[in-house]
Amino acid sequence: MDAMEKIVSLCKRRGFIFPSSEIYGGLNGAWDYGPLGVELKRNLKQAWWDDMVAHHDETATPPGAPQPFGMVGLDSALLMNPKVWEASGHVGGFSDPMVDDRETRARYRADQLAVYALEFIGSDGKLERYDEVLFAAPGELGKSTPAELFEPHRKRVASLQKSKPGREARPVAVPGALQDEALRARVLAPGASAPGTLTAPRAFNLMFKTHVGALEDNQSVTYLRPETAQGIFVNFKNVTDTARVRVPFGIGQIGKAFRNEINPRNFTFRSREFEQMEIEFFCRAGEAAQWYQFWRERRFQWYLDLGIRPDKLRIRDHDKDELAHYSVATCDVEYEYPFGWGELEGIACRTDFDLKRHSEASGVRLEYFDPDTKEHYTPFVIEPAGGIDRMALTFLIDAYAEEEVEGETRVVLRLHPRIAPITVGVFPLVKKDGMPELAHGLEEELRELGFTTFYDEKAAIGRRYRRQDEVGTPWCVTIDGETPKDGTVTVRERDSMQQVRVPLREVGAHLREAQRTWRKG
């Protein structure tokens, strides 16, 4: 089994993640979170919300920030007026089938790229076809002139023409050439040095369409949101009118997003239904570069603080030609997955593009009034945008370890205690002598203190420890024969497997401290 298969298998076996509607054969790109998966995901969302929004101190200047700033939250509807998606560019921008040239990096609309073979016609009316190489050129057969279609391949066409004296070359359509893999391999793209550099056409409208109300007509069309960001932009005025925020400030949101991905893959990494956690951070245009720098570093550090291994994490800046039309700077926090480096979270400077577009389209001024300078202006936006499902997968991959212990393989998830689905397992060593009662009492006490607990009295103690190791439970507490005598219990730590005796009454405080000082081993 490779590393990815092991994670998928663990997720299925222990109830982290299941294929959606599995009993009916599943649904590609959709996943269900089981009893442990839902806890992991909830903990991740809570950690993000607490660290970014709820526990943010707007009077302090965090390290690297140019000044203190405000943070508020939002939970906007998933269904929105379709005009939102027209103004944001999603309706127009996502709706064409595109092909990319891997060599020249040019991008074409598939329906605007003519693919043709050559025919050579002589004065005798005989036709000779040449289709060893097929040619692609911007244009449309029947509408563009042969000269226009030949233009990007002038030299090749002229040399073939030379080899057929007395015959005239003309382009003939090769239907479906871009869709058919074998034909596509023979297609020479404009400016490419050899055939076979074009990708298969991809329909770019990734939005799921649906209808609101009883009538399924054009008037009732809307979309499942492909990002949570737009819900924030369209509420900019509501928030600034009601929350007494002052630029610079951010609005955070967690919620579902849907994309009809052409090729969902790598388990939950690229799904069709997923959750995002996004911040739209509003600042003055002249300070955007500083805030962009701040958010890059802050978001990168957040993953390290939650235990992601530093050698597996990096920041990659987008090249100019990778930037979305609205962005002047973008970078990805990338993780080295078993299938290669991939985006975990993106941080973009979206300029004032979105607020201006929605102002123009809605007729409502989405501007900020600075009470000090008495100036109205459209703020710039820095957007840290991550996905929870991809995050959960990343933390699982990063935490997974196998090690030899006394001749056996121990599988352990070294999850940070803040995000582990269960914080503490509570076990009676045996099911007698008052041990289960003491264990139940301790479990109840720990639950009241806010720990997520799991009681287990089945199987040998070593096996119970292993089962908790495999799901990432940082501590297990065992009540044994000594407990009634001296009032102490065994606290066993997941990563080191070390055991210490702790007074029963001090278990909560001991775990609190252990949680506070935890570092990935």
Structure tokens given for 193: 């040095």
Which residue, 227 or 480, has its beta carbon nearer to ligand GAP?
A: 227
| E runs forming strands in 297-379 | 313-317, 329-337, 340-351, 368-370, 375-377
Q: Is the previous residue joined to 248 through a cis bond, with omega within 30 degrees of 0?
A: yes
Member of 276, 351, 453, 488 binding ligand GAP (CB under 6 A): 276
- Binding mask of the shown chain, residues 8 to 27, with x at each position contacting ligand GAP by CB under 6 A: --------------------
Which residue, 132 or 317, has its beta carbon nearer to ligand GAP?
A: 317
* DSSP-derived pairing of the beta strands 424-428 and 453-455: parallel
Member of 70, 97, 201, 386 binding ligand GAP (CB under 6 A): 386
- Binding mask of the shown chain, residues 277 to 296, with x at each position contacting ligand GAP by CB under 6 A: -x------------------
Q: How far apart are the first and last CA of the chain?
A: 25
- Residue 175: exposed, middle, or buried by beta-carbon count in 10 A (0-12, 13-18, 19+)? exposed
- Binding mask of the shown chain, residues 330 to 349, with x at each position contacting ligand GAP by CB under 6 A: -------------xxxx---
* Residue 385 contacts ligand GAP per CB under 6 A: yes
Residues 242-261 that bind ligand GAP (CB under 6 A): 259, 261
* Residue 354 contacts ligand GAP per CB under 6 A: no
Which region, judged by CB under 6 A, interacts with ligand GAP, from 66-74, 385-393, 449-457, 488-496? 385-393
Member of 90, 153, 186, 270 binding ligand GAP (CB under 6 A): 270
* Residue 229 contacts ligand GAP per CB under 6 A: yes
* Residue 274 contacts ligand GAP per CB under 6 A: yes
* Residue 227 contacts ligand GAP per CB under 6 A: yes
Which region, judged by CB under 6 A, interacts with ligand GAP, from 50-58, 65-73, 186-194, 274-282? 274-282
Q: Is 213 left (phi over 0), alpha (psi -120 to 50) or beta?
A: left
- Distance separating alpha carbons of residues 213 and 32, to the nearest angstrom: 28
Report the run of H or E that residue 448 belongs to, with start and end: helix 435-448
Question: Which residue from 44, 186, 188 is spatially nearest to 103, judged by alpha carbons?
Answer: 188
What is Dmax (Cα atoms) for the chain?
A: 111
477, 498 contact by CB (below 8 A): no
Binding footprint of ligand GAP, residue count (CB under 6 A): 19
Q: Which residues bind ligand GAP (CB under 6 A)?
A: 227, 229, 259, 261, 270-271, 274, 276, 278, 343-346, 383, 385-387, 389-390
